[in-house]
Copies of this chain bind each other. A is one copy, B any other.
């Protein structure tokens, strides 16, 4: 899991304390602003929030599939476009949605102003396509908020230290929202989405999956990292690092969604909160790696230099001075990973590798696991009872993940969700 280092400018200097106490950051995803009608509905929701006495900063994604359309356009011109130009292209999308949302707010007599990532002071490093926020200089937002204006900020984008436009990569708008909430010390960050919260499993697979009312940052991190698509991993890390309370809720209904915040763990924690899965990864196994200090470091440094998202890494003890190391990467990074391994193989002699696309991962996540050592045993028993063979195992203090054959994933998730008592009535 990548570690993010963030410094956030001290906005106390700018923002009035009374405004801050009532400040909420709201993020609306692409589906929520997919049509002019939906944009109007979002504007109504914001207007209602303002009417309740809140100051509001809104973060918007690009409309519906518009980012995909831009990617298709680029693809017709170049198979390997320069990152700087790709970012210039993709940031057109939020520009459109935020301007339209401001117009809709003006129609409701709500004063609003749009801000690009750059104008909102989202300063990033220079990694085009997957830039990291290094600082938030929210001075212009503070000024607008003090004039009782709703600030509508383009998600997913920033400006680098060398004054180029950057994008934050997948889930970037969530990250923008949480980063602004942190920088402005907002009372909450609301993530509006097309589902009503975070579920105990993917409802498309487990029809008895239930909405979770509360999650700790750590649980949400594990859920996001292992397949829960509702909130981007980086946004959760950001929220945890700065203690931002996050509320994941539906754009289409006023009901309470899932709150993610710091909570004392206690005896009543459910042992397992959620069963997640992910079938978008590929498994690599490096064979006959010399079991010497520094070998793994060399390989994973080379992979990391290419900014590959290495996920589960498993190494077993060696028997004959050689060992096998397995790891997973997103399927769309398979080609780049192979390129690195082919290169690295030169230097480590006899080493070979295998890749397997027919894999999926199942994870069980729960803060209560810490004090319940039987969770892993239960998991393995349940999978065995379903005749599911386990290829890799990896654990954290509140998560157990296994890699299995892709076709076994759904069956495993359903069985585990039931076995851990998560099925709704």
Contact surface of A with B, Cβ cutoff 8 Å:
36, 39-40, 70, 73-74, 76-78, 81-82, 84-86, 88-89, 91-93, 95-96, 98-100, 102-104, 106-107, 113-114, 116, 119, 140, 163, 165
Asked, given contacts A82-B103, A88-B99, A89-B96, whether A77 binds B36 with beta carbons under 8 Å apart, the answer is yes
Check A78–B95 contact: CB distance below 8 A: no
A152 and chain B: residue at smallest CB distance: B85
The 7 closest A-B pairs by CB, nearest first: A89-B99, A36-B76, A88-B99, A78-B103, A92-B92, A81-B103, A92-B95
Selected from B84, B99, B140, the residue in CB contact (under 8 A) with A113 is B84
Counting chain B CB atoms within 10 Å of each CB, the highest count among A73, A82, A88, A119 belongs to A88
Chain B residue contacts of A114, Cβ below 8 A: 84-85, 88
Check A73–B85 contact: CB distance below 8 A: no
* Min C-beta distance of A272 to chain B, whole Å: 45
Check B82–A100 contact: CB distance below 8 A: no
Asked, given contacts A91-B95, A95-B91, A106-B82, whether A100 binds B113 with beta carbons under 8 Å apart, the answer is no
A119 and chain B: residue at smallest CB distance: B163
Selected from B39, B77, B93, B106, the residue in CB contact (under 8 A) with A100 is B77
- Compute how far the CA of A96 lies from the CA of B71 in the bound complex, rounded to whole angstroms: 11
Chain B residue contacts of A140, Cβ below 8 A: 163
Asked, given contacts A36-B77, A73-B36, whether A92 binds B103 with beta carbons under 8 Å apart, the answer is no
Chain B residue contacts of A89, Cβ below 8 A: 95-96, 99-100, 103
- Compute how far the CA of A116 lies from the CA of B82 in the bound complex, rounded to whole angstroms: 16
A113 and chain B: residue at smallest CB distance: B84
Check A100–B73 contact: CB distance below 8 A: yes
11 A-B pairs besides A73-B100, A88-B98, A89-B99 with CB distance below 8 A are A39-B77, A40-B77, A74-B103, A77-B107, A82-B102, A82-B103, A85-B100, A88-B114, A89-B95, A89-B103, A92-B95
Chain B residue contacts of A73, Cβ below 8 A: 36, 96, 100
Selected from B70, B76, B93, B103, the residue in CB contact (under 8 A) with A85 is B103
- Compute how far the CA of A163 lies from the CA of B116 in the bound complex, rounded to whole angstroms: 11
Check B78–A104 contact: CB distance below 8 A: yes
Report how many copies the assembly holds. 2
Chain B residue contacts of A36, Cβ below 8 A: 73, 76-77
Chain B residue contacts of A116, Cβ below 8 A: 88, 165
A70 and chain B: residue at smallest CB distance: B96
A35 and chain B: residue at smallest CB distance: B76
- Compute how far the CA of A82 lies from the CA of B119 in the bound complex, rounded to whole angstroms: 18
- Compute how far the CA of A96 lies from the CA of B99 in the bound complex, rounded to whole angstroms: 16
Asked, given contacts A84-B113, A114-B85, whether A78 binds B98 with beta carbons under 8 Å apart, the answer is no
* Min C-beta distance of A153 to chain B, whole Å: 12
Check A96–B92 contact: CB distance below 8 A: yes
10 contacts between A and B (CB under 8 A): A36-B73, A70-B96, A77-B100, A77-B104, A81-B103, A81-B106, A82-B103, A84-B113, A84-B114, A88-B114
* Min C-beta distance of A214 to chain B, whole Å: 37
A165 and chain B: residue at smallest CB distance: B116
A94 and chain B: residue at smallest CB distance: B92
* Min C-beta distance of A45 to chain B, whole Å: 15
Chain B residue contacts of A96, Cβ below 8 A: 70, 73, 89, 92
Selected from B85, B106, B113, B119, the residue in CB contact (under 8 A) with A102 is B85
A36 and chain B: residue at smallest CB distance: B76
Check B78–A88 contact: CB distance below 8 A: no
* Min C-beta distance of A419 to chain B, whole Å: 50
Chain B residue contacts of A78, Cβ below 8 A: 103-104, 106-107
Counting chain B CB atoms within 10 Å of each CB, the highest count among A78, A86, A116, A163 belongs to A78
A118 and chain B: residue at smallest CB distance: B118
* Min C-beta distance of A381 to chain B, whole Å: 53
- Compute how far the CA of A116 lies from the CA of B117 in the bound complex, rounded to whole angstroms: 14
Counting chain B CB atoms within 10 Å of each CB, the highest count among A84, A100, A163 belongs to A100
